[in-house]
Amino acid sequence: VMALPSQVCAQMCSRPCYCPWVPPRCPPGSPLVLDGCGCCKICARRLGEHCDFLHVCDQSQGLICDYRMASAGTGATCNFEDSEEGCEVHGRFYRDGEIFQPSCKLQCRCLDGGFTCVPLCQEDVRLPTPDCPYPRRVEIPGKCCPEWTCDARDQHLRRDAVAASSLLSYLCQEWSTEWSTCSVTCGVGLSTRVSNQNRYCRLETQRRLCMARPCPALPAAFPA
């Protein structure tokens, strides 16, 4: 920060002080402070506002009058005492504009005291299919991004269901009634029985086609 020569400061600060009777009304966030001469109360300049020896910056916010850009004709402005802007993530400081990866899944960029991040892992969605009704993402050892897989529990459940069906068939004592007489005396009819000879060993009524005998042919019609 450039310091003005003491004789210039002495010329700017006149004694005694001549201040307005009513102190200025400051915008929100700008407190009343003494000017650079320690004479009158003024509104403290905020971040990015123009400043000089008389119009001081808000020191309570850690601001100082930065003269580095004064040579470019833009004048001095209020800036943070640590003029190097940056951001702090997990205890580490990054310079403004620096690109970093806080984890293998994110890439971030420090910008104006904050940071923005984009994911490095694909955020695709896998819909259920007949061969994989319950897909889910799992962490793979040695890999950063999770991958889609079919839940092993579903495969176990399907295998257990097949095994239980086989065991049930083995333990089931087959039983059934005799087939009933055909529902018609001639031609194709239905015959029924009650049986547990099925996949779940449950009593059910079963039907099958039957034919006791062919129906006799109708006599040919004689012309009148």
Domains and CATH numbers, the chain: 11-82 (4.10.40), 86-119 (2.10.70), 123-152 (no CATH), 177-214 (2.20.100.10)
Q: What's the rounded Cα separation, in Å, for the pair 76 and 51?
A: 6
Strand-strand pairing, 106-111 and 77-80: unpaired
Contact 71, 101 (CB under 8 A): no
Which of 90-94, 102-106, 169-173, 210-214 shows the lowest per-residue confidence on average (mean pLDDT)?
Answer: 169-173
pLDDT of residue 159: 60
**Cα angle for residues 31, 34, 37 (degrees, 5° grid):** 150
Is residue 140 scored above 80 in pLDDT?
yes
| pLDDT tens per residue across span 10-21 | 556 877 888 888
Please give the C-alpha separations between residue 219 and each of 211, 216, 222, in angstroms, as whole numbers: 22, 9, 9
- Higher model confidence: residue 220 or residue 35? 35
Greater confidence (85 vs 24) lies with 24
By the 10 Å C-beta count (0-12 exposed, 13-18 middle, 19+ buried), 44 is classed as buried
- What integer pLDDT is reported at residue 69 of this predicted model? 63
Q: Which residue has the higher pLDDT, 32 or 122?
A: 32
Yes or no: say if 57 and 80 are a contact pair by the CB < 8 Å rule.
no
How far is it, in rounded angstroms, from Cα 148 to Cα 134?
Answer: 10
pLDDT in tens, 47-69: 888 999 889 999 888 888 888 76
**Full-prediction pTM beyond 0.75?**
no
Residues 6 or more apart in contact with residue 49 via CB below 8 angstroms = 57, 77, 78
Residue type, 70: A
pLDDT of residue 26 exceeding 80: yes
H or E stretch at 10: helix 6-12
Distance CA 22, CA 41 (A): 10
User: Which residues does residue 137 pair with via DSSP β-bridges, in sequence order?
Assistant: 148
Of 109-113, 162-166, 185-189, the least confident: 162-166
Cis peptide before 119 (omega within 30 of 0): no
The predicted structure's pLDDT at residue 43: 95
Residue-wise pLDDT tens digits, 84-135: 567 877 777 787 788 888 888 888 888 877 788 888 887 777 777 778 888 8
pLDDT at 2: 41
**Angstrom distance (rounded) from CA 85 to CA 79:** 10
pLDDT of residue 44: 94
Residues 6 or more apart whose Cβ sits within 8 Å of residue 98 = 86, 109, 110
pLDDT band at 75 (very low <50, low <70, confident <90, very high): confident
